[in-house]
Each structure stands twice: as C-alpha cells, then as structure tokens.
Amino acid sequence: MPLLGSHSLTIAAAVVLGFDGAALAGLGLWSGRAVLVLVGLVLFLSAGLVILSWRWYQHRLDQIALARRALGDEVREMQRMVRKER
C-alpha cells in the first residue's frame, strides 16, 4: 500500500518547486543577481506546469477508462448477438 497517492506527491513536488523558486528569486533580488531571479522564476513557473501536467494525465486516464468501459459494452453486445443467432 503506497504511503502517498499520486495527488499528494504531485502537490508536494509543486510546493517544493514553488518554494525553491520563490526563495531563489528572493535571494537574487536581495543580492542583485539577475540570473538567480531568472532561474527562480523558471522554477516557480515549473511548479504550475507540474500541476497542469498531472491534471492532463488524470484527464487522459479518465478517457481511457471510459473507452475501456465502452469497449466492454460493445463486446458484450456482440457476444449477445452471436448467442442469439445460434
């Protein structure tokens, strides 16, 4: 049994990336280093990308489950038709 679900791990990854990005950007502003600010902003924005990609992944899994159910219904209908013809 997994300790954390995929949703919890995704949230944790996004929080860590967001915090690291914000801290790095803040350090860059404080020290006057533009490169640190840029890297911090990239990390901060990547936290949002992690959440968006997880949502896309979940949506695709839902579509696959729906297609599998539809396929199963179609197979059962075909089996019913074959039995009826005998």
pLDDT number for residue 4:
61
- How far is Cα 63 from Cα 30, in angstroms, rounded to an integer? 47
Q: Note the pLDDT of residue 75.
A: 93
Residue 22: closest CA among 50, 2, 46: 46
What is the per-residue pLDDT for 3? 52
As a whole number of angstroms, the distance between CA 22 and CA 37 comes to 9
Instruction: Give pLDDT tens digits along the chain (86 positions).
Output: 455 677 888 899 999 999 999 999 999 999 999 999 999 999 999 999 999 999 999 999 999 999 999 999 999 999 998 888 76
Q: Are the C-beta atoms of residues 51 and 74 closer than 8 Å to each other?
A: no
Delimit the domains of the chain by residue range: 7-85
The pLDDT value given to residue 1: 41
